[in-house]
Amino acid sequence: MAMTIHEKLGRLARPPLAEAIFELRWELQPNQTDPAWQLLPGLCYGQLRDDFPAKFNLPASNIPAQMTPYVVRQQFRPAADKWPVIQLGPGILTVNHATGYTDWNSFLPVVRKALGVLNDAFPDDTPFEPVHLELRYLNAVPYQFQKDHLLKFMKSNLHTTIQISPRPFDGERVSDGFDGFNLTLTFPTNKPKGTGQFLFADGIHQGEPAVVWHMAIQSKADHVPDKVGLFDCWLNDAHLLIEHWFVDLTQGPLLKSFKQEVTHD
């Protein structure tokens, strides 16, 4: 019997996750205002305070709301600097998780809670029209740029081949080899209907040089369910697809390294 994607993935003792992000956007008025915004933060906090008592105003909260459409302004945490985080702004709700993320079965209930609170708090006399759903996973692995060839690392560890003609490196003007990159690939998805995205780049993670890669699913307009109660199917389909991508990209020594327990001398 063929292994399921969950069996292939197994338990990750050292997951490369930097951050998991869910984002929902809803339609604003033509003047970019959110008629529900004045009431939403207080009503949502009233339902979240037991589990997310730490409430913070973000920098955008100092700017008129009409000038910051789809920008988060309020943040709710279990405690200062603790995850997960629920964020709210005119036309936008996000759920973010990083330190302490274990698996989808622990992240999904937080997303469901945030969506339920938003649904309950949204005024009955204000239209709620979802227009954007996104699930994104940011991963990072340490990479010493001085030691390895970046494109060789990508090919061997992330099964991604990037080629460029050697001609630009002929002569004395440019040295052969890469010391940084930023590549984004987008393509249509069928389940869920929307757009898939891979982003590969060099960066810094936990203060160290790293190769980072994002995997995301976005659905917009008619591909977004029109009710919060219908989001579960989208969420599970999006996560399953990203999980497939993760296994396919890292299959081999890299995935094996994520499963190895940390040993202490």
Can you give the residue ranges of every domain in the chain?
A: 16-162+191-257
Angle in degrees, 0-180, between the axes of helices 40-48 and 104-121, rounded to the nearest 10 = 130
Give this prediction's pTM.
Answer: 0.91
pLDDT in the model for residue 186: 97
User: Cα-flanking dihedrals φ and ψ of residue 38, to 5°?
Assistant: -60, -30
What's residue 1's pLDDT? 46
CA of 191: how far to CAs of 23, 194, 202, in Å? Answer: 18, 8, 30
Provide the pLDDT for residue 206. Answer: 87
pLDDT number for residue 168:
66
Residues whose CB is less than 8 angstroms from the CB of residue 75 and which lie 6 or more positions away in sequence, other chains included: 55, 56, 57, 58, 85, 86, 87, 88
Helix-helix angle 231-250:104-121, to 10 degrees: 150
Q: DSSP readout, 32-101?
A: S--TTTTTHHHHHHHHHTTT--EEEE-GGGGS-GGGSTT---EEEESSTT-S-EEEEETTEEEEEE-TT-
Cα Rg of the chain, angstroms: 21
By the 10 Å C-beta count (0-12 exposed, 13-18 middle, 19+ buried), 135 is classed as buried
Q: Which of 146, 159, 167 is nearest to 198 (CA)?
A: 159
- 212: tokens are 């980072």
pLDDT recorded at residue 102:
87
Q: Which of 29, 41, 101, 109 has the alpha carbon at shortest distance from 72?
A: 41
pLDDT value of position 164: 74
Residue type, 221: A
Mean pLDDT by 10 residues, the chain (265 residues): 60 90 95 91 95 96 90 96 96 96 92 96 90 97 79 89 73 66 94 96 89 96 89 96 95 90 55
